[in-house]
Structure 1
Amino acid sequence: MAQINETITTPPISPLGSFFAKPRIIAKPGFNRWLVPPAALAVHLCIGMAYGFSVYWLPMSQLIGGSEPLVCPVDMSFWQQLVTRSCDWKISMLGWTYTLFFVFLGCSAALWGSWLEKVGPRLVSFVATLCWCGGLLLSAVAIYYHQLWLLWLGAGVIGGIGLGLGYISPVSTLLRWFPDKRGMAAGMAIMGFGGGALVGAPLANWLMNFFADATGNGVWQSILTLSLIYALFMFCGTFGYRLPPLGWHPSGDKAQKAVSRNHTIQVHVSVAWRTPQFWLLWLVLWLNVTAGIGLLGMASPMLQEIFAGKLLSLDLAWQELNDDQLRRIATIAAGFTGLLSLFNIVGRFFWASVSDACGRKMTFAIIFMLGAVLYGSVPLINHAGYVTLFVCAFCVIISMYGGGFATIPAYLADIFGSQMVGAIHGRLLTAWSAAGISGPVLVNYLREYQLAQGIAPENVYDITLMVLTGLLVIGFICNQLVRPVSEKHAMTQEQQQQAKGMYTVNKDAQLTWEARPSYALMTLSWIAVGIPLLWGMGMTLRQAVRFFM
C-alpha cells in the first residue's frame, strides 16, 4: 500500500492561522483514536440544545404580563410585533426560532462543507462555537430588551449557522478515524446531538428557577449562563480534534479486514451531488425525517387527545376532562416526550452500529419496513385503547428516526468514499432543512383540517399516520434503488489534489500504529461528557417512570 501523508507547502502564515492550520492537527504515531469521540460528544451535546429550546417558549411568552400574558392588540402588524416592548410574544412567533435553527443548519452545512475539507475540523468547530454561543448571547440581549427580531437573528440565524458547522465537523473526522466502524463512529457523535436536549432542557429549567425573582423569570440569565457553559465545553472539544494521516488505517487483522470490505472509490463533492445515488439518499433522509419529526413534534398532544381519560384510568373523552385532569395528563405526556428523547439518542447509536454488521442499505430497509408496519398499526392500537403498546411503538419509531441521522454519514462514505464525506454530508443535510418544514406542516395541517371537519380528537391522527406510512414505503423503494457509484465518477488526479487542499504527498508517513493507552486523559475525557449525559438520562427516566405508575 502506498504510504502518504499531508504536509504543508504554502508560504508562512499568521500565528493564529498556524494554530488552526490543518497540518497542526495531524496525529502523531501512537495517538489513541478513542480520544476523538468524547471531543465530538462535547460539541454535539452543546449544539443539541436546539432540540430542547422549547423549554423557553412559555416563559418567553410571559416576560411582560407574567402568568397572565399581555396580549398584543389585534390590529398590531407583524413588523410591529418584532420590535414591540409593550406586549408579550406569541408562542407561535417564538416557534419560528426552532424553524430557523434547522433551515440554517442545513444551509450552512451545505455551503461550507467543502471549506471543512480544506481547513480541517478544528477551525470549523471554533467558528461553530463562536456562532452558537454568540447567538445565545444575542438571544439573552434580545430577551432583556424584548426584541423578537434580535432573538430570531441571534438564536435562529447565527445560532443555526453554528449548528450546521458544529454538526458536520466531528462526523467526517470520526469516519476517518474509524474506517472499520463507520456506523458506530457516526452514531457516537450524532448521539450527542440527540442527547443535548436531555441535558440542556432540565439544566435550563433549573437555571431559570435559580435566577427567577420579583423582577423577572430568569430566562435571559439562564440563556446567558448556558452560552458560557457551552463555550467552555465546545472549546475543549474543538481543541481535542485530531486528524489521521491521509491513508491511515487501524492496526490488527480484524480492523484491516473491515477496512477492505468498506473500500470504495473516492468521489469529489462537485461530482457526487450530480449522481442519482446522492439524490436517492437525499430522498431517503428527507422521507425518514419528515415522518419522524412530524410525529415527534405532535407526540405529546397526540397521546393526550387519543387516550384522554384512559391515562388516568377514567373512561372520559378529551372534551369531558376538567382543568385539573388536563394538567395531570399533561404531566404524564411530558414524561412520554422525555422517554421519546431517550430513544432518539439510543436509536442513533444502536441503528448506526447495526449498520456495521448488516450494511447500510439493509439497515435502512429494516427502518423503512418496520416503520411502515408500526405507523400503519398505531391507529388500530389507538382504537383498542392499548396505551402501553402505543408508547412502545412510538419509542421504536423515534429510535429509527434518530438512527437514520446516524447511519446516513456512513452510507455516504460507503458510496462516495471518506475523503470528501464532510462536504457531501453537508449538502445532503438540506434534506433535514426541507423535512423540518414539510414534517410539522403535514402533520399539523392534516390535524387542523380534520378537526375543522368535526372529527373527534381521538380519531384525527388516523389519516395522518396512513400518509406517513406511504412516505416510508416510498423511502423503502428509494433505498432499494441505490447502487454503487460507477468508476467513471472517481476523482481525477487534479481533483485529488484539489481535495487535499494545501497538502502534498509524503512517502515516509507511518500509516498504522499501536495506540498508546493514555488512561488518565481517556478517563477524564469520557467522564467530562459522560456525567452530563447520564444526568440527563436519569432526569428523563425519573419523569418517564411516572408515566407507567
Structure 2
Amino acid sequence: MVPSFLARDRIVAGPGFSRWLIPPAALCVHLCIGQAYATSVYKTALVEHFDTSLTAIGVIFSIAIVMLGLSAAVCGTWVDHNGPRAAMFTAACFWSAGFLVAALGIGTEQLWLVYLGYGVIGGIGLGIGYISPVSTLIKWFPDRPGLATGLAIMGFGGGALIASPLSSRLMQLYDQSGYDATDPSSVADGHAVTMLFVTLGIVYFAFMMFGAWTVRVPPEGWKPEGWDPAEVREKRLVTTASVSAGNAIRTPQFWLLWTVLFCNVTAGIGILEQAAPMIQDFFRDSSGASTVTATAAAGFVGLLSLANMGGRFVWSSTSDVVGRKPIYMLYLGGGIVLYLLLATVGDTAVALFVLLAAVIISWYGGGFSTVPAYLRDLFGTFEVGAIHGRLLTAWSAAGIAGPLIINGFLDAQGTPGELTADAYRPALLTMVGVLVIGLVANVLIRAVDPRFHEPAASDDLERSAT
C-alpha cells in the first residue's frame, strides 16, 4: 500500500496526453542517479582523507551497485503494481538520504557510514529509481521499446556528464586547503567532499521529485495511433505471450541473458570506475609525471558519460531494427577486439585511447538500455518490470567483480598516482575473457518454451498496452 497521492489510479493520463512527456520525466530520475558513474572524480580525495587503499574506497561503489541489483529484484513487483510515481518518490528519498549519511561519515571520518549511506541507502534508491520508469515506458511505446527505454536509460549513462565537472567545481569552491582542479597533483580535502555530498543530496532530491510528479500511466485500452499489435508476430525471437516473473527465472533464457549482462557490465564498469586516474596513468612522461591534467581527466570522465548516454539511445534504437540478439553480438564481439587494442596499443596516443574507451563505453551503455526490450521480446510485457529487476542482480555481481578485478590488479602493481599503462594490461586482458563468456551465452539464447507461458497468453500483448 502507498499513500493515495502516490497511487497508480491518481496518475492515469487524460485525453490528449502526449506519451513523449514520459521520457523527460524518467530522465529527471536517471540523470540524478547516474552520478554513480562520477565517483572516480573524488576517489583519490577519499583515499587520502581516510588514509586507505583504492580497493577500500572502491567498495563504496561496489556496495551501491550490489544494493541496486538487490533492491531492483526485491522491489520489482512492488514497482509494477504501485506505479512509477510511488517508485520515483521512494527512490528520491533513499538516494538523497544516502548522500547525507555519507556526508556525515566523511565529516566524522567514519568510513562505515559512507558504506551505509552512499552504498546501502543510496544503493536502494539507485535500484528503485533505475527500474521505476521501465515498465511504464514499454507500455507507452509498445511499437518502439528499444527507443523508449534508450531515451530514459541514457540519462543514467549521462549523469556523470553533469556530475563530473560539477563535482570538480564544487570541491574547489568548498575546499579549505587550496585545491586546484586544474593541477593533477592537487587533492581536495575532506570538508570539500563532505559539502559536495550535502549539495548533491539536496539538488538531486528536487529534480527527482519533479520527475515523480510529471509521470503518467496510459489509460486502459490505449495503444499508439496506427500501431497494429500483429506486427510483433512477424519478428524473430519476439513473443506475444506472457511469462510471469516467477516463471522467467526458471527458464534458461533468463540465466543466459543474466550472464550476457554480467559480462558486458563487468568489462565496462572497470573503465568507468577508474576512468579519471586511468587516462593519467596511461600517459606519463619519463619523469613519471602524467601529461594529462586533472581537469582533462575529469573531462574524459564527462566524455565517457556522453558516450555512455549516447550509446544507450543510439544502440537500443538500432536494436528495434536489427534485433536484440544481433546487437549484443556487436557489444560483446566488438568489445573483445577493442579491449585487446586498448591493452596493447592504447598508450600510443591519447586520441586513440579516448576513441577506444568511448566506443567500449557506448556498447556498455547500449547493453543496459537494450536489455529491457530484450526481456520484453522473450517474456512479454506482463511482469517485465519485475523480471528486469531480477535480472539486474547481474549488475550487482558485476559491481563487485569489475572493480575488484581492476583495483586488485592495480593495488598489486604499485601506488596510486605512480602507475603506468603496464599495470592495467592484466586487468584489461581479463576483461577480454569475460566478454568471450558473454558472447557464447548470447549465441545460445532461443525462444522461451511455451510451457512457461501464462494462460490466455495470446491476448497478453493487447492487454499489456493498458
TM-score, normalising length: structure 2: 0.86
* Deviation, structure 1 residue 236: 1.1
1:209-288 correspondence runs (5 A): 209-213=172-176, 217-246=191-220, 248-253=222-227, 257=231, 261=235, 263-288=239-264
Q: Is the 8 A contact 1:191 1:348 kept in 2?
A: yes
- Asked if the contact 1:25/1:243 (under 8 Å) is kept, the reply is yes
Compute the displacement of 1:226 (Å): 2.0
Alpha-carbon distance between aligned partners in 1 of 2:413 and 2:109, rounded to the nearest angstrom: 37
For residue 391 of structure 1, report the CA deviation from its aligned partner: 2.4
After the TM superposition, which residues 28-43 of structure 1 pair with which residues of structure 2 at under 5 Å, given as runs? 28-43=14-29
Residue 140 of structure 1, CA deviation: 2.8
Q: Which residue of 2 aligns with 1:345?
A: 309
The residue that corresponds to 2:370 in the other structure is 407
Deviation at 1:49, TM superposition (A): 1.3
The change in CA–CA distance for 1:259 and 1:130 in structure 2 (over 3 A counts) is farther
Alignment of 1:338-417 (within 5 A): 338-382=302-346, 385-417=348-380
- The alpha carbon displacement at 1:337 in A equals 3.1
- Correspondence for 2:30: 44
CA deviations 1:234-260 (Å, max 9, x no partner) are: 111011121123553201258974697
For residues 414 and 433 of structure 2, the distance between their equivalents in structure 1, rounded to whole angstroms, comes to 22
Q: 1:189 to 1:413 in 2, by over 3 A?
A: same
Q: Deviations over 1:420-459 (max 9, x none)?
A: 111000000010111111122223334555779xxx9444
Does residue 202 in structure 1 map to residue 162 in structure 2? no
- Look up the match of 2:149: 186
Maintained 8 Å contact 1:180/1:256: no
Displacement of 1:345 in angstroms is 1.3
Corresponding position of 1:536? none
Task: Mark the CA change 1:399 to 1:245 in structure 2 (over 3 Å): closer, same or farther.
Answer: same
Deviations 1:445-488 (A, max 9, x none): 34555779xxx944444444333223222212211111111222
CA contact (8 A) 2:143 2:227 kept: no
Paired amino acid for 1:412:
L
Counterpart CA distance in 2 for 1:112 and 1:106 is: 10
Q: Which residue of 1 aligns with 2:114?
A: 151
* Superposition pairs of residues 480-499 of structure 1, within 5 angstroms: 480-492=443-455
Find the partner of 1:167 among 130, 149, 155: 130
2:164–2:298 contact (8 Å) kept in structure 1: no
Q: Distance in 1 between matches of 2:411 and 2:104?
A: 36
Name the CA distance, whole Å, in 1 between partners of 2:330 and 2:352: 20
Residue in 2 that maps onto 1:26? 12
> Where does structure 1 lack aligned partners over 5 or more consecutive residues?
1-12, 63-68, 70-86, 310-315, 500-504, 513-549
Residue pair 1:179, 1:259 contacting (<8 A) in 2 also? no
Counterpart CA distance in 2 for 1:441 and 1:308 is 24
Separation in 1, partners of 2:53, 2:441:
40
Q: Which residue does 2:180 correspond to in 1?
A: none
1:114 paired residue among 77, 85, 101: 77
Deviation at 1:302, TM superposition (A): 4.4
Give, in whole Å, the separation in 2 of the partners of 1:403 and 1:204.
Answer: 26
2:106 is the alignment partner of 1:132: no
TM-aligned CA distance change 1:382 to 1:121, over 3 Å: closer
> More displaced, 211-220 or 21-30?
211-220
**Are 1:336 and 2:300 counterparts?**
yes
Q: Which amino acid aligns with 1:291?
A: A
Once residues 154 and 140 of structure 1 are traced to their aligned partners in structure 2, the CA distance between those partners, rounded to angstroms, is 8
CA contact (8 A) 2:346 2:352 kept: no
Would you say the 8 A contact 1:372–1:469 is kept in 2? yes
Maintained 8 Å contact 2:280/2:292? no
DSSP-derived class of the 1:326 partner: coil
> 3-state DSSP class of the match of 1:491?
coil
Q: 1:205 to 1:469 in 2, by over 3 A?
A: closer
Once residues 258 and 115 of structure 2 are traced to their aligned partners in structure 1, the CA distance between those partners, rounded to angstroms, is 28
Matched positions, count: 447
User: What is the CA-CA distance between 1:39 and the residue it aligns to?
Assistant: 0.4
Structure of higher CA gyration radius: 1
**Secondary structure of 1:172's aligned partner:** helix
Deviations 1:369-413 (A, max 9, x none): 211222233344247x24433321221111111111111111001
Q: For residue 266 of structure 2, what is the amino acid of its counterpart?
A: T
The alignment partner of 1:308 has SS state of coil
CA contact (8 A) 2:335 2:435 kept: yes
Q: Distance in 2 between matches of 1:464 and 1:369?
A: 18
Query: Equivalent residue of 1:248, what SS?
Result: coil
The one-letter code sitting in structure 2 at the alignment partner of 1:248 is W
Deviation at 1:119, TM superposition (A): 1.2
In structure 2, what is the Cα distance between the partners aligned to 1:158 and 1:443?
25
Cα displacement (A) at 1:121: 1.5
Instruction: Tell me if structure 2 keeps the 8 A contact 1:113–1:426.
Output: yes
What is the alpha-carbon distance in structure 1 between the residues aligned to residue 435 and residue 53 of structure 2? Answer: 34
CA–CA distance in 1 between the matches of 2:58 and 2:430? Answer: 25
Inter-partner Cα distance in structure 1 for 2:23 and 2:326: 26
Alignment correspondent of 1:519: none
Q: Aligned partner of 2:301: which letter? A: T
Which range moved further: 24-33 or 115-124?
24-33
Q: Name the CA distance, whole Å, in 2 between partners of 1:389 and 1:209.
A: 30
Secondary structure at the counterpart of residue 267 of structure 1: coil
Structure 1 distance, partners of 2:274, 2:117, is 26
Residue 30 of structure 1: how far off its partner (Å):
2.3
- The alpha-carbon deviation at position 293 of structure 1 amounts to 1.2
**C-alpha contact (below 8 Å) 1:308/1:329 kept by paired residues:** no
CA contact (8 A) 2:174 2:191 kept: yes
The residue type paired with residue 250 of structure 1 is P
Q: Does the 8 Å CA contact 2:410/2:423 hold for their aligned counterparts? A: yes
Separation in 2 of the partners of 1:389 and 1:277?
Answer: 37
What is the one-letter code of the residue matched to 2:113?
Answer: L
- Checking the alignment, whether the CA contact within 8 Å between 1:108 and 1:164 is kept in structure 2 is yes
User: In 2 relative to 1, CA 259–174 (structure 1 residues): closer, same or farther, beyond 3 Å?
Assistant: farther
